[in-house]
Structure 1
């Protein structure tokens, strides 16, 4: 994308969007926004109507340092961190290698990837889907880096290890997918890969859904909507394959439904008090739940801070852990205390 074509046109603010932006900044813990109403009051005459006294000069006050509001660039850089994670996972799983060196540089501390290796796929359909998703995620990284230009953050340290000390095992142990001493290796086979992908995909969809109303540039909003749609296709695809494999296995050996539910419950426990995450089937596994929505058929959102709760594998307000051991780069980096 040609960065000279990035528009700065601002969408008309509404009360709802203003409230959402304030809430986003509060939970992200990175910036504060001066209330528009207070600014207007400060500019207005507080005296009686029609009375306009001669203004008395007053000394210019010393400016008080304040935190800068979160910008569209900050939001897209937050998204870029997540795209680095997904792109590295899929790239290693499909090709056995990560992103090229030219695609991981930028602002902030550049980190390395721990873990990751090629999956020996048994099902050619799963292998083909994995290749397609990998190509999309790699393209997302390239697109966001081009759109952000010199402001793009570097890839932070990423842990996608499937060993006993890796982030995938920590996530699986917390969810109960494996025992407290068990190991979860998403590169071991098709099903393990799909479960590993399931950990990320729904999170990406809810993150873009939560960020979309906060963007002011129509061009950035259009880009975010396009990536959101792609991530939703990916999530629906992973959920569909998992449901099909679980359904085909039958109730006697069909542990996939339980494993997916455990991961979903774990995400719910990490990201706050609202229970909106969903598995791939209802109480009766014969009824699919491919698209996790509310009663109106609308996908749910997550704040940036609550997304970080999941990828950091924490319920505390911290700046690192889990899949991002040293945190993410950019101004939005703090998870939520819950």
Structure 2
């Protein structure tokens, strides 16, 4: 039976969240953990996508974001452009609400270990996501894709985001120098992987359904988005849709692809450079755009600008 979030329960959740986040303004200053500079740079880079996910999921579920629910986490950074509440069923809204609160926790966890930086300028408008879809299909979809219109559109827009961060964490863990950092990133990876699996499962359930009003199926959308990310990343195949040619499926024996992985079903990895190429939409780590019109923040991202 579908779960639902009533107005009362939503208000209660928001109240609890505000109480929990209210005393964390001295986050990193209260920590005495000695983390190597290399690890600090990696952890701070991750904040870019965590900010993006926190805002996208929070606005999608509640119609408000960090400024209303956990303002201390923004560190004074500008609010996202164009983001709005999505037209979701009660079941999907409940899932996205869970994702939002999880992302708040991720931001808090990272900032408890490193200083961090203010929320960067992000563009989460319908235009930004329409651009992704137009680029994926190499044509202008008519009407323009609207990520906030319904469950399917929002899930497809969500498909664009967490997986990129997931591959980044897979690539980061082997390079970290501190067990504290490794434990943190492993914890982040676990939940990000879960979010991606939920999104992919919900889309796989509808894989052969047409995405109204277009002639393309859900599976075709996921395949096109994945191909676009592979092309932008410029490091070969690290991304696959929810239905793949048999040879690409697990053990080369199945076309369903709820969880994406290599020939041994191990998660793909990406470097910060690959991630920037994808989230900038430019294919270049030194050319900001798309979701980060002014560029991502942190020493790693800034070093390319």
What is the TM-score of this pair, normalised by structure 1?
Answer: 0.73
Which runs of structure 2 are paired with 1:22-33 in the superposition (5 Å)?
Answer: none
Matches within 5 A, 1:64-143: 71-100=38-67, 101-105=71-75, 110-122=77-89, 124-143=90-109
Mapped to 2, the partners of 1:335 and 1:170 lie a distance apart of 26
Give matches, 1:176-215, under 5 Å: 176=137, 179=140, 182-215=143-176
Aligned to 2:261: 293
Deviations 1:310-336 (A, max 9, x none): 100012241521100001111111698
State how far apart, in whole Å, the 2-side matches of 1:255 and 1:248 are. Answer: 5
What whole-Å deviation, never above 9, does each CA across 1:122-154 have from its counterpart, x for those lacking one? 3x3222211111111121112222222xx2111
**SS at 1:85's partner residue?**
helix
CA distance in 2, matches of 1:104, 1:120: 26
* Structure 2 gaps, min length 5: 1-23
Q: Post-superposition shift, 1:9?
A: 7.4
**Is 2:110 the partner of 1:144?**
yes
**Per-residue deviation at 1:7?**
3.6
Higher relative contact order (CA 8 A, sep 6+): 1
Structure 1 gap segments, 5+ residues each: 11-69
The aligned residue for residue 260 of structure 1 is 222
Mapped contact 1:177–1:262 kept (Cα < 8 A): no
Partner of 1:279: 241
The number of aligned residues is 267
Larger helix proportion of the pair: 2
Q: Tell me the CA shift for residue 5 of structure 1.
A: 5.2
Task: Report the CA distance between 1:111 and its aligned residue.
Answer: 3.0
Quote the Cα distance in structure 2 between the aligned partners of 1:7 and 1:87: 26
Change (3 A) 1:177 1:239: farther
Point out the structure with max Rg over C-alpha.
1
